[in-house]
């Protein structure tokens, strides 16, 4: 754990990463974009983080949890008053409010599942609508990615830049349109054109993940999220949810046919 700084303690990048749950890679990235720079360096050039750096990292993590992008966080922290007591209190209050809202949703879901258990104890099977409502509530809590994986994906998007991200979105939308036609026509999954489209889909998705073991884990999490929450995700997209759900299943069959 990170200890008190009353004796002027400093933390290496590895110590800070281990204690805070932020990867070393993320800390390097924060340094590169000016979001969090180590306050001191040793004679040999190694980073040493101070108490002020620790507070700044806390603000970065708290603002990320509240949904702000790294660019938006940089704008907030650029305020010269960002480290005063009032600003820190406002941030903690907002974080508490968000956690309280999450707790209320968890309490509601817990109450509903207790109700299903009581019905089963009374030898009564809950009806499909009850299960469907509960599944919809559960999906709210399933983001598909750990905090560390969300940080890694955010870093990768920042590395690509907004123009590349927007270009990828347009290409992805084009692939969706083409593949939905094949889903509608029930084109065989070993069709060369379909195989090529899915290869391009996977290559496009791979650009948003690191080219290492961590990247493979985020790829797997993204694919699992699509498979398990396609209905919820589809509500935010311009295509009907049933068609997108069918597309997700079709993609997996095409991959299996390789």
Q: Which residue has the higher pLDDT, 214 or 12?
A: 12
Q: Which residue has the higher pLDDT, 33 or 149?
A: 33
Q: Examine the domain organization and report whether 105 and 179 are in the same domain.
A: no
Q: Examine the domain organization and report whether 126 and 182 are in the same domain.
A: no
* Predicted confidence (pLDDT) per residue in 160-207, tens digit: 888 888 888 889 989 999 999 999 999 999 999 999 999 999 898 888
Residue 4 is assigned to a structural domain of this protein: no
Length of the chain: 258
Quickly count: other Cβ atoms within 10 Å of residue 182's Cβ. Answer: 19
Last residue of a domain, one of 141, 173, 194: 141
Residue 92 is assigned to a structural domain of this protein: no
Backbone angles phi, psi at 130, to 5 degrees: -65, -45
Distance CA 77, CA 215 (A): 29
* Predicted confidence (pLDDT) per residue in 99-121, tens digit: 776 677 677 777 777 777 777 77
pTM over 0.75: no
Terminal alpha carbon distance of the chain: 48
CA distances from 110 to 58, 104, 228 (A): 30, 10, 21
Residue 206 is assigned to a structural domain of this protein: yes
> Percentage helix, strand, coil, to 5, in the chain?
70, 0, 25
Let me know: does 38 contact 48? Beta carbons within 8 Å: yes
Concatenate the DSSP letters of all residues of 79-118 into one string: STTTTSHHHHHHHHHHHHHHHHHHHHHHHHHHHHHHHHHH
236 Cβ contact partners less than 8 Å away, ≥ 6 residues apart: none
Judged by phi (left if over 0) then psi (alpha if -120 to 50, else beta), residue 45 lies in left
Q: Examine the domain organization and report whether 135 and 154 are in the same domain.
A: no
- Rounded mean pLDDT of 4-16? 75
Residue 229 is assigned to a structural domain of this protein: yes
pLDDT at 6 over 50: no
Check which CATH number belongs to the domain holding 54 and give it. 1.10.1660.10
Distance CA 253, CA 190 (A): 9
Residue 243 is assigned to a structural domain of this protein: yes
Residue 3 is assigned to a structural domain of this protein: no
196 Cβ contact partners less than 8 Å away, ≥ 6 residues apart: none
Q: Examine the domain organization and report whether 58 and 135 are in the same domain.
A: no
Q: Examine the domain organization and report whether 111 and 161 are in the same domain.
A: no
82 Cβ contact partners less than 8 Å away, ≥ 6 residues apart: 59, 76
Q: Examine the domain organization and report whether 151 and 245 are in the same domain.
A: yes
Residue 30 is assigned to a structural domain of this protein: yes
Query: What is the residue range of 38's domain?
Result: 13-77
Q: Examine the domain organization and report whether 159 and 125 are in the same domain.
A: no
Q: Examine the domain organization and report whether 178 and 249 are in the same domain.
A: yes
Question: Given this model, what pLDDT does residue 148 score?
Answer: 63
Q: Examine the domain organization and report whether 73 and 23 are in the same domain.
A: yes
* Predicted confidence (pLDDT) per residue in 44-88, tens digit: 999 999 988 988 898 888 887 666 677 778 877 876 555 667 777
Domain count, the chain: 3
Residue 84 is assigned to a structural domain of this protein: no
Q: Examine the domain organization and report whether 153 and 186 are in the same domain.
A: yes
């Amino acid at each position: 754990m990170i200890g008190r700084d009353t004796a002027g303690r400093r933390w290496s990048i590895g110590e800070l990463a281990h204690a805070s749950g932020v990867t070393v890679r993320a800390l390097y990235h924060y340094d590169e974009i000016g979001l969090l720079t180590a306050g001191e360096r040793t004679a040999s050039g190694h980073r040493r983080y101070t108490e002020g750096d620790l507070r700044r990292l806390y603000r970065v993590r708290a603002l990320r949890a509240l949904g702000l992008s790294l660019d938006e966080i940089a704008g907030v922290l650029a305020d010269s008053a960002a480290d005063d007591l009032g600003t820190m209190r406002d941030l903690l209050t907002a974080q508490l409010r968000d956690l309280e809202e999450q707790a209320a949703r968890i309490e509601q879901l817990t109450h509903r599942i207790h109700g299903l258990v009581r019905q089963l104890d009374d030898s009564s099977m809950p009806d499909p609508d009850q299960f469907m409502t509960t599944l919809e509530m559960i999906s709210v809590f399933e983001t598909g990615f750990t905090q560390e994986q969300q940080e890694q994906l955010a870093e990768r998007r920042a590395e690509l830049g907004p123009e590349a991200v927007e270009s990828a979105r347009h290409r992805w939308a084009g692939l969706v349109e083409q593949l939905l036609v094949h889903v509608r026509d029930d084109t065989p999954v070993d069709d060369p054109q379909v195989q090529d489209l899915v290869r391009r889909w996977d290559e496009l998705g791979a650009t948003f993940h690191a080219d290492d073991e961590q990247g493979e884990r985020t790829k797997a999490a993204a694919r699992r999220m699509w498979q398990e929450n396609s209905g919820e995700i589809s509500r935010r997209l311009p295509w009907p949810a049933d068609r997108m759900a069918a597309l997700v299943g079709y993609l997996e069959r095409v991959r299996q046919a390789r």
